[in-house]
Amino acid sequence: MRTPICESLGIEYPIFAFSHCRDVVAAVSKAGGMGILGALVYTPDELERELTWIDNNVDGKPYGVDVVIPAAYVGKDQGGLDEIDLEQYIPEEHKQFLEQLLEKHNIPPLPEDLPRHAGLLSWSDNMGRALVDIAMNHPIKLIANALGPPPADVIERAHGLGIQVAALVGRADQAAKQKTAGVDIIVAAGYEAGGHTGEVSTMVLVPEVVDAVAPKPVLAAGGIGSGRQMAAAMALGAQGVWMGSVWLATTEADSEPTVTERLLAATSNDTVRSRSITGKPARMLRSGWTEAWDDPETPNPLPMPLQFLATSEAEQRIRRAALGGSPDAAELTVTVTGQIVGSMNQVRPARQVFSNIIDEYLDTVERMAQQME
């Protein structure tokens, strides 16, 4: 099952695991694939700590880092605004809506002395670059960017250090732009995917992107959780698969117990694309939260990054109340995942998920070869 991308990255199987959890990253890299740490949720100091841990626990196997430097966001033209500058753009009606929603569900305020989560995640040029600087001081083999081509100097620096650059796309025209920008690997993420996602299904997107960027390697993402789906992706011309959701239901994942329960219970029909967390469409479980934002009476979600800034404290309050056992809060909790959630019915070690995918992939390819006899 080795494809050219395996040779160029020094991995055994072309299976890429996106995760915010360092244990998943290390487990998949050690199993012969490539773990990719989602850096967005970390401050630079935290990222330094996570990557040092991975370096000490990955047995020298290749791994990567994913950042999000979007091509378009509020404040970009001013060089990326900070939280305090942006606060003024959050309308009163959004603040009132959130307060009423939390009150209706009896979600208590945060204690005065509890540290607030960072209001802004690192989806801007300046904040994303701070994470890139940290990542490039570690022996990473791949750096990925979502929501637009990585800045030219980031690509140049990566190449100078022998690091390959990947970018996530949801449309063939975006893929062509990434090729022109000098990106090495295109991740074609279809509609089914967890997190930010476009409107074209994986089945349609992957061959379009493969043709648009040939001979550049393409990884298929979105709705892949089994060896049969991996075989389909490879048949579409992908050189490998990039998976996010499946790793949420692994023993290594740091999901909260109530979140794991919801993931295991959900069907493939239970996700929606919603702008309610980041301002850009992202796939997550349908919940009291997504339904409240879908209500025609509710103000429209704000553009990136204002929506996250506006909602981050509310999210923290909801999570805290859910952890404290409030069923109302659990129902409001945001759970980012793709349609493959319907097949995630048990929690298993990441290595087992990985080897099951390979076994089923090999069985599938053999079954299809027999059909030719």
Binding site for ligand FMN (CB under 6 A): 18, 38, 40, 66, 68, 146, 168, 189, 192-195, 221-224, 242-245, 336-338, 340
Nearer to ligand FMN, 23 or 192 (CB): 192
**Least Cβ distance, residue 215 to ligand FMN (angstroms):** 23
**Least Cβ distance, residue 338 to ligand FMN (angstroms):** 3
- Distance CA(229)–CA(191), nearest Å, equals 15
**Least Cβ distance, residue 246 to ligand FMN (angstroms):** 6
C-alpha neighbours within 13 Å on the C-beta side of residue 223: 22
Nearer to ligand FMN, 38 or 94 (CB): 38
**Least Cβ distance, residue 64 to ligand FMN (angstroms):** 11
Nearer to ligand FMN, 229 or 326 (CB): 229
Nearer to ligand FMN, 94 or 222 (CB): 222
Nearer to ligand FMN, 6 or 168 (CB): 168
Q: Which helix (H) or strand (E) holds 185?
A: strand 185-189
Paired tokens of 122: 């690192």
Cα 204 to Cα 208, 222, 233, 267, 332: the distances in Å are 7, 12, 11, 23, 33
**Least Cβ distance, residue 65 to ligand FMN (angstroms):** 10
**Least Cβ distance, residue 86 to ligand FMN (angstroms):** 20
**345 φ/ψ sector (left φ>0, alpha ψ -120 to 50, else beta):** alpha
**Least Cβ distance, residue 289 to ligand FMN (angstroms):** 15
Sheet holding 195-196, edge to edge: 195-196, 282-285, 271-274
**Least Cβ distance, residue 248 to ligand FMN (angstroms):** 6
C-alpha neighbours within 13 Å on the C-beta side of residue 286: 11
**Least Cβ distance, residue 108 to ligand FMN (angstroms):** 26
Angle 260-189-213 from CA coordinates, rounded to 5°: 155
- Distance CA(311)–CA(278), nearest Å, equals 9
**Residue type at 165?**
V
Nearer to ligand FMN, 94 or 197 (CB): 197
With CB atoms as reference, the residue minimizing the distance to ligand FMN is 244
Nearer to ligand FMN, 25 or 336 (CB): 336
Of 170, 179, 159, which Cα lies nearest the Cα of 204? Answer: 170
Q: Is 125 exposed, middle or buried (0-12, 13-18, 19+ CB in 10 A)?
A: middle
Quote the distance between the C-alpha of residue 138 and its chain's center. 21
C-alpha neighbours within 13 Å on the C-beta side of residue 187: 33
Token look-up 């800045």 returns 151
Question: Greatest CA separation found in the chain?
Answer: 71
